[in-house]
Every structure is written in C-alpha cells, then in structure tokens.
Amino acid sequence: MKFPRNAKIFRGQLDAAPFMGVFFLLTIFLLLNSTLVFTPAVRIRLPEAPGRPLSGVENPTVVVAMDLSGQLYFENQVIQERELSRRLKEKAALYKDLVLVIDADKAVELEAFFRLSKLAGDAGLKEVLVAGRPTARKTPFVP
C-alpha cells in the first residue's frame, strides 16, 4: 500500500523576516549587556572616602579632572589654568548655582585643590566638591 507524501522539500525563496527578528533580538541583548559606563582615557585613582554616604548634587555641575602630574582636564580635553578660568566664567554665566566637581588623583597635593577652589571662586562658582570613591564594605561570612 502506498501512502501519499505530505512533506514537501522546500524549493522557494527563503523568508528573511524570522532571521531579522532573531538578529535584532540578539543586538538588543548585546547592547543591554555591554558596559555603558564612561571610562576616561586619563588614569585617576580617586581617594577613598570612608563613612561618607553616596549622594548626588542637585545643582548643575562641571567636572575638572587632575592627574598625578597636576595636568588639568576639562570636557575631556587638556586645558591650562587661564583657559579653564575663562571657560568656568562662561559656564557660570549660563547656569545659576553651578558646582565644580574635582576628580583628582589621590596623590595630588593639597595646594592644587586650593588653587582650583580659588580659580572657581574667581569665576563665580560658589561650591566646589572633591570626588571620592566609597570604601569597599566588608561583609561577614555567612555559611
């Protein structure tokens, strides 16, 4: 007895829609699992701030980074103090209650902080903050 064959060998065009759907899903998964943290090109080891709570700043901020050698960076560009002063004055004129955040290496001398604070005060900024990283919490071992 001969049974009729229902299965046919595919001989038409391949439908690309299912493959594109899988491709877009894979793309979304890869984008969501990638690191979206900005890593600056300048290596700065922030000082530890033990016991300080992590909190944000409500007012608009500008960030000045300072590496181990004392070189200043503003908006991801190397900048001199005179140019930094001019740019801070421009920013202070645009935004009310602008806050300067200093990302400095932990080995930078205290004199550099005072110099930047004076520069910010002369530019019209009323608040200067120094960025630090929290200390790692030691969690007790629980078996």
The 10s digit of each residue's pLDDT in 2-14 is 777 777 777 777 7
Average per-residue pLDDT for the chain = 82
One-letter amino acid of 60: P
Q: Please give the Cα distance from 91 to 115 (Å, whole number).
A: 19
In CATH, the architecture of 61-130 is 2-Layer Sandwich (3.30)
Q: Which residue has the higher pLDDT, 98 or 136?
A: 98
Query: Average pLDDT for residues 93-113, to the nearest whole number?
Result: 88
DSSP β-bridge partners for residue 62: 100
Q: Please give the Cα distance from 93 to 125 (Å, whole number).
A: 10
Give me the pLDDT at residue 39, please: 58
User: Strands of 61-66's sheet, edge to edge?
Assistant: 77-79, 72-74, 61-66, 99-104, 127-130
Query: Average pLDDT for residues 80-97, to the nearest whole number?
Result: 91
Q: Which residue has the higher pLDDT, 20 or 70?
A: 20
Quick: pLDDT tens for 21-70. Answer: 999 999 998 888 776 665 556 778 888 877 666 566 788 889 899 988 88
- The DSSP call for residue 99 is E
Give me the pLDDT at residue 89, please: 93
The pLDDT-based confidence of 85 (bands split at 50, 70, 90) is very high
Q: Please give the Cα distance from 68 to 46 (Å, whole number).
A: 11
Q: How many helices (H) and strands (E) does the chain have?
A: 3, 5
Taking the complete model, does pTM exceed 0.85, yes or no?
no
Give me the pLDDT at residue 80, please: 93
> Is the pLDDT confidence value at 141 over 60?
no
Q: Output the CA angle 96-101-103, nearest 5 degrees.
A: 160
Give me the pLDDT at residue 22, please: 95
Q: Please give the Cα distance from 88 to 85 (Å, whole number).
A: 5
Give me the pLDDT at residue 76, please: 82
Taking the domains of the chain in order of start, what are their residue ranges?
61-130
Give me the pLDDT at residue 113, please: 87
Nearest to 85 by CA among 105, 100, 68: 100
